[in-house]
Amino acid sequence: MAEKEIILSLRDIKTYFPIYSGVFKKLSGHVKAVDGINLDIYKGETLGLVGESGCGKTTLGKSILKLVNATDGEIIYKNKEGETELRGLKEKDMVPFRKKLQIIFQDPHSSLNPAFTIFGSLEDPLKKYGVKDRSERRKIIGDLLESVNMRREYMDRYPHEFSGGQRQRIGIARALSIEPEVIICDEAVSALDVSIQAQVLKLLKKLKDERNLTYVFITHDLSVVEYISDRIAVMYLGKIVELSHSDKLYERKLHPYTQALLSAIPVADLDRKSKRIILEGDVPSPVNPPSGCSFHPRCPMAQEKCRVEEPQLVNYGKDGEEHLVSCHFVNV
């Protein structure tokens, strides 16, 4: 079996937001949105990033793209030209890499400027990266619209003339316009109706295969992430608590937080009953996370060790497969 090619490596990524208080705006603490992420993302895969609202998954996605500046750690981008550490780059030095790293935003209604036609919204990246001729830009944009199952002439219309699903397809076309290698899909289908979600997900899979794209698919929808992902990383309070191949995670969920999350998926089978695991209490504040295991205040399995010692990600995969879990008491 050929070894997988790593396109992005995250090493101990931390993204903290300062909190200032008092009349003199004195630094009083930090919101630890992302708190020590280590992750390899493979070329051509779809990595699902899932967890409750506020767990840090969107901040991690924006940190990868430097839309938010990570506080510490390394973001290593690898391609045929070599390796580049992105976090330490100045904005002007990031320009060539913005061509390779793109994002599809969550809200299709606010991600397009209502004052511009679709052509106006999509031509700026092309101009910035060297397509000077207007007729060539129109051809490229027309081809892009057709690739997302829309008509070429739609480029001369305005965003308000399209439905939510059509706008999200335009957002996908914009992300593809400068031929990226990695696309961060930030809740890319959560604002759409279920029937439209299916169409957009099918389109994303088709484009990934055709263009050899790599996706980081951020979502809270567990059914969606199962359908589209090759691997799934489960986040809780700024950390990854479980990481596995999509099929294996749903068959053999090992972390108690993952078990609780997946128990919430509705099952359309009267003969197959599943017990819902209700977590007690609220998600702790990322300003002052618990000591030891961050999940221990809500964990039904918590013991004294969990309160004082932070667990590390350990591989519990069978037959050499990857199945990383951060828990002191994994029941294998």
pLDDT tens for each residue of 283-306: 888 999 999 999 999 998 899 999
**What per-residue confidence (pLDDT) applies to 274?**
62
Closest-CA residue to 75 (of 107, 52, 100): 100
pLDDT tens for each residue of 56-89: 999 999 999 999 999 999 999 998 888 999 999 9
Beta bridge partner(s), residue 34 = 15
Determine the residue type at 323: H
pTM for the complete prediction?
0.90
Non-local CB neighbours of 81 within 8 Å, separated by 6+ positions: none
Determine the residue type at 28: S
What mean pLDDT value characterizes the chain? 90
Share of the chain above pLDDT 70, in %: 96
Indicate whether 300 belongs to any domain: yes
Indicate whether 199 belongs to any domain: no
Structural domain including 306 reads 258-332
Look at the chain and report how many structural domains it folds into: 1
CA atoms within 13 A on the CB side of 69: 8
**What per-residue confidence (pLDDT) applies to 19?**
94
Indicate whether 227 belongs to any domain: no
What burial class does residue 268 get, using C-beta atoms within 10 Å of its C-beta: 0-12 exposed, 13-18 middle, 19+ buried? exposed
Indicate whether 92 belongs to any domain: no
Q: Which residue has the higher pLDDT, 242 or 132?
A: 242
Indicate whether 197 belongs to any domain: no
Tokens (6 digits) for 305? 């060790």
Indicate whether 117 belongs to any domain: no
3-state helix/strand/coil string of 150-171: CCHHHHHCCHHHCCHHHHHHHH
Q: Which residue has the tokens 């937080």?
A: 257
pLDDT tens for each residue of 97-107: 999 999 998 88
Cα of first residue to Cα of last residue in the chain, in angstroms, is 26
Indicate whether 331 belongs to any domain: yes
**In the predicted model, is pLDDT for residue 1 greater than 50?**
no
Indicate whether 81 belongs to any domain: no
- CA 64 from chain centre, in angstroms, equals 10
pLDDT tens for each residue of 146-162: 999 999 999 999 999 99
